């Protein structure tokens, strides 16, 4: 029996505290209650269907209720839902580790599970810190990108930064922040080539200044998602890899958002043919079904932790649900759906999105920029694009735009006044048209342009 929607709303208003939400606004508005889903559509309590335009916060990959993933979870449920990896092995966690090592950028042979992107990043940071200590070096500093986003636990927040999200918390670890090329381009008004060179020069200066004290460089490769979809030129990542080698430090690539096909390839690193020392995965790992994340490490890092028990060099880290069997079974089924045909379809889908955006969104008066990498898209809105004058935060232009889209049957979630489109990889050609058309109409309605 399903609970009446008005009862859900009463409970929600009385007791639920929503993530990334000003609850004062939430309590004053009528919430949309999603009761079910079907493929690329969410279904509300009244049976109305909405295109899931941001993949349920960037994680749904193959659509909802995919029979193959549903069946894999059911089959696992017939055996067991969860057993611990502390002292015990399990079939789905072992098989998934082998599969991930086989498809990940080369050299990433070891898989450490957790249950959120943020925890995957915490693990990467802790592995880096302990790795250097085990090698007899005291290295506590990280180098990270300005306005990087790596999740909301304290360590992950320390290497990330966003003024409104982070202003009540001081970093737990010393961090040097360097701009990605896009930031240089945007804040200093320089051309892309010069911005790339300047960003690399700043990174090199930071690495040279604290040589021997930097545990790792942490980046979101190819696209800084939560900053507002800030793209990187593809040359940036191999140059960062080269610099981290030259200055003898580790490279952490956070592919929690970019992994699993989002950029048009399985991993963003694949575009640049590089492999980091540590790779974090989350969001799409389980197809967007269950909380599962992974930190992949090289054999070299793994081997540094080996030694007699009594030396206590082990990685003393774990979560109750590390390697959860249902989540790993979902992830295995999701990986099976990454057929050559699916991967081959991604460039055409990205091109179709770009064509629609060019035709319908780019001409709108208050669209200052459209940023796209694969199926990750940011549409930035400003009061005066020519003078780069933003809207006032209290106007809630991004938020009002997604409410306008919702009335037209598309669920979106903005980043400030940047409208984000990140449809599931399973989106069809006609749905791409609907998605972009609704985005355009909603922007026009709210900005009057
Ligand atoms: C979403 C995100 C995270 C955090 O993942 P959670 O599962 O929300 O903790 C980390 N890094 C990046 C790049 C992300 O986009």
Of 425, 424, 417, 419, give the one whose Cα is nearest residue 388. Answer: 417
Question: Are 223 and 258 within 8 A, CB to CB?
Answer: yes
Structural domain includes residue 12: no
Number of domains in the chain: 2
Q: In ligand 1, which atom is closest to the CA atom of 225?
A: 15
Tens digits of residue pLDDT in 196-255: 999 999 999 999 999 999 999 999 999 999 999 999 999 999 999 999 999 999 999 999
In this structure, the answer to whether residues 56 and 194 fall within a common structural domain is: no
Query: Does residue 241 sit in helix, strand or coil?
Result: helix
In this structure, the answer to whether residues 38 and 93 fall within a common structural domain is: no
Of 440, 335, 334, 394, give the one whose Cα is nearest residue 53. Answer: 440
Q: In ligand 1, which atom is closest to the CA atom of 156?
A: 10
How far does the centroid of ligand 1 lie from the alpha carbon of residue 115, in Å?
A: 11
Q: Is the CB of 259 under 6 A from ligand 1?
A: no
Query: In terms of DSSP H, where are the helices of 29-144?
Result: 55-58, 67-79, 91-103, 117-134
Structural domain includes residue 291: yes
pTM comes to 0.97
Would you state the pLDDT for residue 1? 45
Whole-angstrom distance, CA of residue 199 vs CA of residue 184: 7
End-to-end Cα separation, the chain, in angstroms: 46
Whole-angstrom distance, CA of residue 357 vs CA of residue 438: 11
In this structure, the answer to whether residues 155 and 199 fall within a common structural domain is: yes
Would you state the pLDDT for residue 3? 73
Of 343, 290, 280, 365, give the one whose Cα is nearest residue 321. Answer: 290
Residues lower than pLDDT 70 in the chain:
1-2, 162-166, 449
Mutation pick for ligand 1 pocket among 18, 226, 280 (CB with most ligand atoms within 8 Å): 226
Mutation pick for ligand 1 pocket among 18, 59, 149, 155 (CB with most ligand atoms within 8 Å): 149
Of 149, 181, 109, 103, give the one whose Cα is nearest residue 338. Answer: 103
Of the candidates 285, 311, 336, which is a domain's last residue? 336
Of the candidates 297, 319, 336, which is a domain's last residue? 336
Which residue, judged by its Cα, is nearest atom 15 of ligand 1? 257
Tens digits of residue pLDDT in 76-102: 999 999 999 999 999 999 999 999 999
In this structure, the answer to whether residues 231 and 286 fall within a common structural domain is: yes
Question: Are 393 and 381 within 8 A, CB to CB?
Answer: no
Question: Are 258 and 232 within 8 A, CB to CB?
Answer: no
Domain extent, residue 100, equals 70-336
Whole-angstrom distance, CA of residue 180 vs CA of residue 231: 9
In this structure, the answer to whether residues 430 and 310 fall within a common structural domain is: no
The total of other beta-carbon atoms located within 10 Å of residue 89's CB is 9
Radius of gyration of the chain (CA): 22
Of the candidates 306, 336, 366, which is a domain's last residue? 336
Would you state the pLDDT for residue 435? 98
């Amino acid at each position: 029996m399903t609970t009446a929607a008005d009862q859900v709303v009463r409970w929600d208003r009385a007791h639920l505290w929503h993530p990334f939400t000003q609850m004062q606004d939430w309590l004053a508005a009528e919430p949309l209650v999603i009761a079910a889903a079907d493929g690329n559509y969410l279904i509300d309590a009244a049976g109305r269907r909405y295109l899931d335009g941001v993949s349920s916060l960037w994680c749904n990959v193959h659509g909802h209720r995919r029979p193959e993933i549903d069946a894999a979870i059911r089959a696992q449920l017939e055996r067991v839902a969860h057993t611990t990896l502390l002292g015990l092995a399990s079939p789905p966690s072992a098989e998934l580790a082998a599969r991930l090592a086989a498809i990940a950028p080369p050299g990433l042979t070891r898989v450490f599970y957790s249950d959120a992107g943020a925890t995957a990043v915490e693990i990467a940071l802790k592995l880096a810190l302990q790795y250097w200590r085990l090698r007899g070096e005291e290295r506590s500093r990280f180098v990270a990108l300005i306005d990087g986003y790596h999740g909301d636990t304290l360590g992950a927040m320390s290497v990330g930064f966003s003024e409104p999200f982070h202003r009540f918390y001081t970093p737990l670890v010393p961090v040097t922040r360097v701009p990605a090329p896009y930031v240089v381009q945007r804040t200093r008004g320089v051309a892309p080539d010069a911005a790339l060179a300047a960003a690399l020069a700043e990174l090199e200066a930071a690495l040279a200044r604290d040589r021997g004290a930097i545990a790792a460089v942490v980046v979101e490769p190819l696209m800084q998602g939560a900053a507002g979809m800030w793209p990187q030129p593809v040359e940036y990542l191999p140059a960062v890899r080269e610099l981290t080698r030259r200055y003898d430090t580790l490279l952490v690539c956070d592919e929690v958002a970019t992994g699993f096909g989002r950029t048009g390839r399985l991993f963003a690193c694949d575009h640049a043919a590089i492999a980091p020392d540590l790779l974090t995965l989350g969001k799409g790992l389980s197809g967007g079904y269950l909380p599962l994340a992974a930190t992949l490490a090289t054999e070299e890092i793994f081997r540094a932790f080996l030694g007699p028990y009594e030396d206590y060099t082990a990685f003393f880290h774990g979560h109750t649900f590390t390697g959860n069997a249902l989540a790993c079974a979902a992830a295995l089924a999701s990986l099976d759906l990454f057929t050559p045909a699916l991967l081959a379809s991604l460039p055409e889908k990205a091109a179709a999105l770009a064509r629609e955006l060019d035709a319908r969104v780019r001409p709108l008066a208050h669209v200052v920029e459209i940023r796209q990498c694969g199926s990750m898209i940011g549409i930035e809105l400003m009061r005066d694009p020519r003078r780069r004058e933003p809207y006032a935060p209290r106007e809630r232009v991004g938020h009002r735009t997604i409410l306008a889209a919702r009335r037209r049957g598309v669920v979106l979630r903005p980043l400030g006044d940047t409208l984000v489109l990140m449809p599931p990889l399973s989106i069809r050609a006609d749905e791409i048209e609907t998605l972009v058309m609704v985005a355009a109409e909603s922007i026009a309605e709210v900005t009057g342009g």
